Structure 1
Amino acid sequence: MAVSAAESEHDLLSRYLDSYRGAIKWKVQGLTRDEATRSMVPSGTSLLGILKHMAYVEQGWFQEVIAGRVLESVSTEEEFAVADDETIDGLMAAFDGACATSREILAERRLDEMVPFRGGQLAIRDVVVHMIEETARHAGQMDILREQIDGQTGGFPPGGLPWS
Structure 2
Amino acid sequence: MISRDLKADLRHYLGEARKALVWKLDGTTEYDARRPLTPTGTNLLGLVKHAAGVEAGYFGETFGRPFPEPMPWMEQDAEPNADMWATADERREDIIALYRRVWAHADATIEALGLDAIGEVPWWPEQSRAVPLHRVLVHVIAETHRHAGHADIVRELVDGSAGLGAVRSNLPDADRAWWIGYRDRLEETAGRFRSS
Matched residue count: 156
Matched, 1:104 2:113: no
Structure 2 stretches of 5 or more lacking a match? Answer: 171-196
Pairwise mapping of residues 1-164 of structure 1 onto structure 2 (< 5 A)? 8-69=5-66, 73=75, 75=78, 76-118=80-122, 119=126, 120-158=129-167
Deviation track 1:43-87 (CA, whole Å, cap 9, x = no partner) reads 112100111111101111001112353866154511113110212
Find the aligned partners of 2:29 and 2:136 in 1 and give their Cα distance: 33
The residue that corresponds to 2:194 in the other structure is none
Distance apart, 1:112 and its partner CA: 1.0
Find the aligned partners of 2:151 and 2:52 in 1 and give their Cα distance: 15
Instruction: Check 1:107–1:7 CA distance in 2 against 1; reply closer, same or farther (3 A cut).
Output: closer
Deviation track 1:108-161 (CA, whole Å, cap 9, x = no partner) reads 000011123354421110000001100000000000000000100102342699
Equivalent pair of 1:53/1:80 in contact (CA under 8 Å): yes
Deviation track 1:28-55 (CA, whole Å, cap 9, x = no partner) reads 1111111101111111121001111111
Letter in 1 for 2:161: Q
RMSD over aligned CA atoms reads 2.2
Structure 1 stretches of 5 or more lacking a match? Answer: 1-5
Letter in 2 for 1:103: D
SS in structure 1 opposite 2:60?
A: helix
Equivalent pair of 1:27/1:143 in contact (CA under 8 Å): yes
Equivalent pair of 1:140/1:155 in contact (CA under 8 Å): no
Find the aligned partners of 1:97 and 1:121 in 2 and give their Cα distance: 26
Larger radius of gyration: 2
